Amino acid sequence: MITRRNTTLAAGLAILAVFVLMAVFAPLVAPYDPIFQDAAARLKSPSLLHPFGTDNFGRDILSRVIHSTRIDLQMALIGVAFPFAIGTVVGAIAGFLGGIVDAVLMRLIDVILAFPFLVLMLSIIAILGTGLSSFYIAMALVGWVSYARLIRAQILVLKNSDYAMAAESLGFSRARILFRHLLPNAVAGSIVFSMSDVVLVLLSGAAISYLGLGVQPPTAEWGVMVAEGQSFVTQAWWITLFPGLSIVMLAFGFSLIGDGLAERLGVNG
């Protein structure tokens, strides 16, 4: 058993490491400048010179895929970090204080959850205008609810535990009990959830960029690249194939990490 769960986690971490290295060393690894247009090499199929082919502007797809890693990884990680932090604090306070604070926050969560995730995201982006920063703000406004629910449920159980009472009888402040004693024990579930959430955020961010409402061309981003290749899909399939495969691989890596962590931490993901 132990070896199997280690392989799941290890495989996921290995995939993620490849993408992180690709992002960090993008200018060194990429054979060409991602936005350099070579008029003589338009719509070239994959070859030794251009392993992933070129697009209608003569840009090298491999270089664009590699540079996109920077944007997409950042999008996925920031898109999870803000909701995670906000949701954890809100959920912890709601669960710990209870009463009217809890009731109001829970009703707010019900309302936000009534909206289909992407529909609310798009509506907020419609108001804020297109772009990556709008995506982050929308993500922070919408994404925290799942984390708040998870943490709140944990805190509700933990606040009646023996060690919480022990801390209370020692005269520790409520803030100290909540943030130093309860919260560290409550986050395991959220950490596992964040790995499936990061897949959702990556897919949403790429989808929003594909629709033209997120990352804007000529910046290389996988969703943008798929959109750019769409009109040429009959004659130059490579423009859309490779950025899509990159999303699939990165998402697969995150999913494996999530599964591996779920088993290791003994949490039901």
Partner 1 sequence: MLHRYRFILTRPLQFLPVILGVSIITFVLVRLIPGDPARVLLGTKATPEAIANIRAQFGLDQPIWQQYFYFVQNLLHGEMGRSITFRIDVLQLISTRIEPTLALVFSSVLLSVAIAVPLAAIAARNEGRVIDHAVRLVSTFGIGFPSFWLALMLILLFSISLPLLPVSGYGNTFSDKLIHLILPSLTIALSLSTVLLRSLRAAMIEWLKSDVATAARARGMPESIVFWRHVVPNAIVPTINLLAVNIGWLIGGTVVVESVFALPGMGQLLVRAIFSRDYMVVQGVAMVFACATVLVNFLADIATVAADPRVKL
Q: Rounded CA gap, 214 and 165, in Å?
A: 48
Among 35, 89, 118, 188, binds partner 1 (CB under 8 A): 118
| 75 counts as binding partner 1 under rule CB under 8 A | no
- Find where tokens 């971490």 sit: 13
**Residues binding partner 1: what is the number (CB under 8 A)?**
53
User: Alpha carbon 74 to chain centroid distance?
Assistant: 8
Tokens of 199: 């897949």
Interaction residues for partner 1, span 122-161 (CB under 8 A): 122-127
> Is 108 a residue that touches partner 1 (CB under 8 A)?
yes
- Residue 20 touches partner 1, criterion: CB under 8 A: no
> Does 7 help bind partner 1 (rule: CB under 8 A)?
no
Candidate residues 1, 40, 48, 114; the one interacting with partner 1 per rule CB under 8 A = 114
Rounded Cα distance between 201 and 199, Å, is 5
Among 46, 58, 98, 244, binds partner 1 (CB under 8 A): 244
Instruction: Quote the DSSP letter at residue 216.
Output: P
The Cα 145–Cα 131 span in angstroms is 23
Of 139, 145, 110, nearest to 124 by C-alpha is 139
Task: Report the site for partner 1 in 183-242 (rule: CB under 8 A).
Answer: 196, 199-200, 202-204, 206-207, 210-213, 222-223, 226-227, 230, 233-234, 237, 240-241
Tell me if 247 contacts partner 1 by CB under 8 A: yes
Question: For residue 126, what are its two tokens?
Answer: 């419609």
Whichever of 23 and 202 has its CB closer to partner 1, that residue is 202
Structure tokens at 78: 């920031």
Q: How many angstroms separate the CA atoms of 209 and 217, rounded?
A: 9
Give Dmax over CA atoms of the chain in angstroms: 77
Rg of the Cα atoms in the chain: 22
Residues at the site binding partner 1, with contacts judged by CB under 8 A: 107-108, 110-120, 122-127, 196, 199-200, 202-204, 206-207, 210-213, 222-223, 226-227, 230, 233-234, 237, 240-241, 243-244, 247-252, 254-256, 259
